[in-house]
Amino acid sequence: MHLPLLVVSIAFLSLVLTGAATVYARRRGLLDHPGERHSHAVPTPRGGGAGLVLAFLLSLLTLSFIDAAPAMDEAFLYPLLGGLVPLAAMGWWDDHRDLSAWLRFGVQLAVSLFLVASFMASGWVPGWGMAAMTVLFTVWMINLYNFMDGSNGMAAFQGVFACAVLAWLFGRAGDAGGQLVALALMACCLGFLPWNLGRARVFMGDVGSLALGFCIAGLLVYGTGAGAFSLPVALMVMALVLTDATLTLLARVLKGEQWYNAHRQHLYQRIIARGRTHGAVLALYQALNLGLVLPGIVFGVNYPDWAWHVAVALGLVLGLGWYLSTTRIGVLAEAG
């Protein structure tokens, strides 16, 4: 199978379906309005991630019936799709009308439990202790992506980076099926980007951000359990956004704030509020991915005995950078 042509085809499908979702959002009045908890200046449609998700689902279902396509492990594919569909449906509903935090959390927990239980049955998640931590990680990844979807191009470009790295890792391990899923998701993110870069014409919305976080979590857990790459390497793939989102959450909890409310306290949001453009912030984050995260991953893969040392060192460097930057900028908006 010609993988570059496949990536282009899926990206084009995502581009078209995102455009259709944008037209729908405008007609239904699904708009995010500017405010102190947002980083945009004009009303912008939300829910464009529906096109990305639909393109991903159609691509995987089609590829599963093509004999020339690499075989995707059904024990991985079906639990991933089985969790993705209800989560995306809930996100789509939430983009139309605000749902309660408890309902959102309940659906996120349910799909995470389903995914991890299925992976346990396949031997990819050993033991109940690891299963509990994996469920928490999956729920956090779902929410992390939702939190990081607040700057033009940020969530989709992080998806491109993470999935490109995962495709390389799966290919290196000889897992053609895992590589195919990662490439399909990367292509869907690429197709979404033209609608969201620069002066965004649509936002991903919960339908896209929640689903994307879930899928990347599924790829990371599967890849680690199946032996395609080690746990420290898996953690480094999303190290940059894991650091920003996790430390921001901890800071808000320590201040007694309602951490689940909308806010502008992530580092990338503070930088934008200080006058930097969305494009400049996106370039900074991807420069850190390419300059720090990617070399750490490559080193951890080639020198597995040092992988944990590199992962910890990377976390400390990113954490220190987050602390110094947020201390200098200060708090810009309280969420309550």
Report the b/e string of 203-220 with b at 16+ CB within 10 A.
Answer: bbbbbbbbbbbbbbbbbb
pLDDT exceeds cutoff 90 at 302: yes
Half-sphere exposure for 117 (CA within 13 Å, toward CB): 8
**Beta partners for residue 45, in sequence order:** 31
* Contact (CB, 8 A) for 177 and 29: no
The better pLDDT of the pair 37, 129 is held by 129
Q: For residue 277, give every residue at least 6 positions away whose Cβ sits within 8 Å of its Cβ, in sequence order, or none.
A: none
Confidence band for 317, pLDDT divided at 50, 70 and 90: very high
Confidence band for 259, pLDDT divided at 50, 70 and 90: low
**CA–CA separation, 35 and 43 (whole Å):** 10
Q: Using alpha carbons, list the distances in angstroms from residue 266 to 104, 138, 182.
A: 21, 20, 27
Of 54, 85, 103, nearest to 218 by C-alpha is: 85
Q: For residue 161, give every residue at least 6 positions away whose Cβ sits within 8 Å of its Cβ, in sequence order, or none.
A: 286, 289
**CA–CA separation, 304 and 38 (whole Å):** 41
Torsion of CA 100, 105, 108, 112, to 10 degrees: -160
- Residues 141-162: pLDDT tens digits? 998 888 877 788 889 999 999 9
Assessment of whether the complete model's pTM goes beyond 0.85: yes
**CA–CA separation, 278 and 285 (whole Å):** 11
The better pLDDT of the pair 266, 175 is held by 175
Half-sphere exposure for 302 (CA within 13 Å, toward CB): 6
- Residues 150-195: pLDDT tens digits? 788 889 999 999 999 999 999 999 999 999 999 999 999 999 999 9
pLDDT, mean of residues 30-51? 72
pLDDT exceeds cutoff 50 at 336: no
What six digits make up the tokens of 35? 């405010």
Handedness of CA 244, 248, 251, 254 (dihedral sign): negative
